[in-house]
């Protein structure tokens, strides 16, 4: 172990002694390093470096049985239990797991490193970006196959366990263009002619608008800003009405989706939480900067979303009514959203 790694390990041990419940992500922030760098200080002590064969590793995760998938950003944590089935890695752009419980959109070009982690009786596979940011974690549950975990870790164990992580700074986001430089008329026309919600991102790129700028410049009636506090109302009302919804949370490397009802909601300090047996959500409401009702035309009729952003204009979380291609949006969801506009 290098001197620098040793020093970092000692600092982390001292920090944990002061605050035994400090999470590794917060410890990394306090120490001014990435979470991957901090985790790597324990290689050989419950942490195993895996070869970065992400598609192959993820394809074998189905053997673990029921696990807990965790995806988060700085403002929101999305935890969903289920089995990793129907993986599709054929596209170079976005890879998929699509089923009722584990529903993921993966962008492997942002993935850099992988580890098998054993902390006491907790076992997990953890994946990190080029900048050392935690992108996705898979935790075993009491219903998982622990032997299969050991087999996967051994199969993909890197030859060199004395890895020196190369951390790359993420390129800064492009500066937002002035509204006067945008072809607003062309942009609004393209929006009203959308046929699929998945085309929205390419449309914003074509016209050179940021996501929140797109909402500001939306055609009349297609985007409306709402009070940030109403984001909590979405979850509370969906719970009260047993309304199935879709909840998207992601970071640059992955989007994780929950589809179904939310039952138990509760506050803990500034966090609003969903605490159901197979789905947990933790949203730091103090970090919400903007919330919008957004409507997009599709071949199946209008689709309505609640989109929530942080101060950098990045997505925190998105909400939709439960829907599938070919099926119109639920009227109950439209009614819920209409109530937010009052």
Question: Mind giving me the DSSP string for 64-126?
Answer: GEEEEEEEE-SSEEEEEEE---SEE---SS-EEE-SSS-EEEE-GGGEEEEEEEEETTEEEEE
CA distance 214 to 184: 9
pLDDT digits (tens, 9 = 90+) for 135-165: 999 999 999 999 999 999 999 999 989 767 8
- Buried residues in 116-129 as b, exposed as e (16+ CB within 10 A): bbbeeeebbbbbbb
pLDDT digits (tens, 9 = 90+) for 77-120: 999 999 999 999 998 889 999 999 999 999 999 999 999 999 99
How would you class 185 by CB atoms within 10 Å of its CB: exposed for 0-12, middle for 13-18, buried for 19 or more?
Answer: exposed
pTM over 0.85: yes
Q: What is residue 296's three-state secondary structure?
A: strand
pLDDT at residue 277 tops 70: yes
pLDDT digits (tens, 9 = 90+) for 20-66: 889 999 999 999 999 999 999 999 999 999 999 999 999 999 999 99
Task: For 199-240, give the DSSP string.
Answer: GHHHHHHHHT--HHHHHHTPPTTSEEEE-TTHHHHHHHHHHH
CA distance 124 to 313: 31
pLDDT at residue 228 tops 60: yes
CA distance 224 to 218: 9
pLDDT at residue 191 tops 90: yes
């Amino acid at each position: 172990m290098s001197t620098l790694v040793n020093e970092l390990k000692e600092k982390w041990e001292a920090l944990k002694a002061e605050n035994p419940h400090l999470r590794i992500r917060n410890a990394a922030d306090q120490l001014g390093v990435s979470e991957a760098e901090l985790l790597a200080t324990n290689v050989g002590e419950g942490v195993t470096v895996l070869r970065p064969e992400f598609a192959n590793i993820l394809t074998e995760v189905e053997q673990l049985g029921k696990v807990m998938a965790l995806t988060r950003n700085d403002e929101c944590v999305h935890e969903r239990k289920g089995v990793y089935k129907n993986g599709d890695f054929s596209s170079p752009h976005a890879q998929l797991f699509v089923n009722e419980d584990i529903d993921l959109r993966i962008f492997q070009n942002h993935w850099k490193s992988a580890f098998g982690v054993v902390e006491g009786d907790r076992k997990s596979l953890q994946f990190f970006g080029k900048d050392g940011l935690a992108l996705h974690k898979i935790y075993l549950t009491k219903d998982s196959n622990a032997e299969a975990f050991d087999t996967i870790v051994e199969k993909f164990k890197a030859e060199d366990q004395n890895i020196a992580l190369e951390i790359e700074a993420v390129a800064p986001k492009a500066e937002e263009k002035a509204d006067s430089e945008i072809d607003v008329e062309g942009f609004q026309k393209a929006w009203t002619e959308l046929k699929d919600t998945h085309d929205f991102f390419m449309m914003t790129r074509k016209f050179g608008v940021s996501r929140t700028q797109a909402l500001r410049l939306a055609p009349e009636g297609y985007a409306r800003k709402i009070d940030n506090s109403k984001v909590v109302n979405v979850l509370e009302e969906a719970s009260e009405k047993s309304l199935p919804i879709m909840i998207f949370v992601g970071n640059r490397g992955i989007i994780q989706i929950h589809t179904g009802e939310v039952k138990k909601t509760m506050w803990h300090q500034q966090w609003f939480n969903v605490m159901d047996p197979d789905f947990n959500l933790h949203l730091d409401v103090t970090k919400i900067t903007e919330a919008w009702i957004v409507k997009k035309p599709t071949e199946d009729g209008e689709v309505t979303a609640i989109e929530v952003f942080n101060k950098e204009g990045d997505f925190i979380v998105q909400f939709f009514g439960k829907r599938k291609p070919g099926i119109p949006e639920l009227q109950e969801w439209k009614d819920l959203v209409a109530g937010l506009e009052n």
